[in-house]
């Protein structure tokens, strides 16, 4: 579709890369840093650093050394779990397996599978709310982990502000 008269197509210069993401995350940090230029500097640094090195999830508890068993959904479909783990390792989002514990302090959480809308396809869930009362999630303050999604009313208000001759887009970042 042609751009409105007087507007130029924007794309970051290939040689102007400020951050280099060595992992295979779906977010391309060098492009993100380009598109966030002029954004609130504190939020800019937080987002770029987080996507490059990982975000602090806010865990402030003590680690409980434990042994866990995966949930029934994962135990009854071990081939699917194995394949999903291998996909994550291949994409550099997981590391391992290890012959011995890679950390002296480490808390384990079970895996489970949840069926997607498309029957016969599954997503793997790392159950960070286990064990109840001393889980990873129990040790993250609520203000560090609450999420508020934009609503259709938010989109309407934004359209009212920017005007009718603008473009809106919605995106979803998913793993491979």
- Statement to judge: residues 158 and 74 lie in one domain: yes
- Statement to judge: residues 19 and 99 lie in one domain: no
- What is the pLDDT at residue 4? 39
- What is the pLDDT at residue 95? 80
Q: Where does the pLDDT of residue 13 fall: very low under 50, low under 70, confident under 90, or very high at 90 and above?
A: very low
Q: What percent of the chain lies above the pLDDT cut of 90? A: 28
CB 126 within 8 A of CB 111: yes
Residue 133 lies in a domain: yes
Residue 175 lies in a domain: no
158: left (phi over 0), alpha (psi -120 to 50) or beta: alpha
Query: Strand pairing partners for 126?
Result: 111
- Give how far the C-alpha of residue 85 lies from the chain's centroid of Cα atoms, to the nearest Å: 16
Look up residue 136 and give its two tokens.
Answer: 């990873």
- Statement to judge: residues 69 and 149 lie in one domain: yes
Domain extent, residue 16, equals: 8-55
- What is the pLDDT at residue 2? 45
21-41: pLDDT as tens digits = 344 556 888 898 998 888 889
- What is the pLDDT at residue 144? 77
Residue 34 lies in a domain: yes
* Other C-beta atoms lying within 10 Å of the C-beta of residue 124: 19
- Statement to judge: residues 13 and 88 lie in one domain: no
- Statement to judge: residues 42 and 107 lie in one domain: no
63-93: pLDDT as tens digits = 877 788 999 999 999 999 999 999 988 887 7
- Statement to judge: residues 49 and 134 lie in one domain: no
Q: Residue 82: CA atoms inside 13 Å, Cβ hemisphere, count?
A: 5
- Statement to judge: residues 24 and 85 lie in one domain: no
Residue 174 lies in a domain: no
- For the segment 92-117, the average pLDDT, to the nearest whole number, is 86
- Statement to judge: residues 75 and 46 lie in one domain: no
- What is the pLDDT at residue 20? 32
- For the segment 166-175, the average pLDDT, to the nearest whole number, is 70
Residue 155 lies in a domain: yes
Residue 172 lies in a domain: no
- What is the pLDDT at residue 58? 84
- Statement to judge: residues 67 and 94 lie in one domain: yes
Q: Where does the pLDDT of residue 147 fall: very low under 50, low under 70, confident under 90, or very high at 90 and above?
A: confident
- Give how far the C-alpha of residue 71 lies from the chain's centroid of Cα atoms, to the nearest Å: 23
- Statement to judge: residues 16 and 94 lie in one domain: no
State the SS3 of the chain: CCCCCCCCCCCCCCCCCCCCCCCCCCCCHHHHHHHCCCCCHHHHHHHHHHHHHCCCCCCCCCCCCCCCCCCHHHHCCHHHHHHHHHHHHHCCCCCCCCCCCCCCCCCCCCEEEEECCCCCCEEEEECCCCCCCCCCHHHCCHHHHCCCCCCHHHHHHHHHHHCCCCCCCCCCCCCC
Residue 119 lies in a domain: yes
Residue 101 lies in a domain: yes
Number of domains into which the chain is organized: 2
CB 21 within 8 A of CB 29: yes
Look up residue 139 and give its two tokens.
Answer: 């040790």
CA-based nearest residue to 29, from 4, 2, 49: 49
Q: Which of 23, 40, 55 is the last residue of a domain?
A: 55
- Statement to judge: residues 113 and 72 lie in one domain: yes
- Statement to judge: residues 25 and 80 lie in one domain: no
């Amino acid at each position: 579709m042609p751009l409105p008269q007087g507007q130029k197509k924007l794309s970051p210069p290939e040689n102007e890369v400020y951050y280099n993401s060595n992992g295979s995350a779906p977010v391309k940090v060098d492009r993100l840093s380009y598109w966030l230029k002029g954004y609130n500097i504190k939020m800019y640094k937080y987002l770029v650093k987080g996507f490059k090195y990982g975000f602090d999830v806010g865990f402030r508890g003590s680690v409980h050394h434990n042994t866990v068993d995966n949930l029934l959904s994962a135990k009854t479909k071990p081939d699917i779990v194995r394949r999903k783990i291998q996909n994550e390792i291949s994409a550099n989002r997981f590391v391992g397996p290890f012959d011995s514990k890679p950390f002296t302090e480490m808390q384990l959480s079970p895996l489970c599978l949840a069926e997607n809308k498309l029957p016969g396809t599954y997503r793997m869930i790392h159950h960070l709310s286990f064990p109840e009362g001393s889980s990873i999630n129990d040790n993250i303050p609520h203000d560090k982990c609450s999420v508020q999604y934009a609503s259709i009313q938010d989109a309407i208000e934004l359209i009212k502000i920017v005007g009718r001759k603008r473009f809106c887009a919605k995106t979803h970042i998913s793993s491979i």
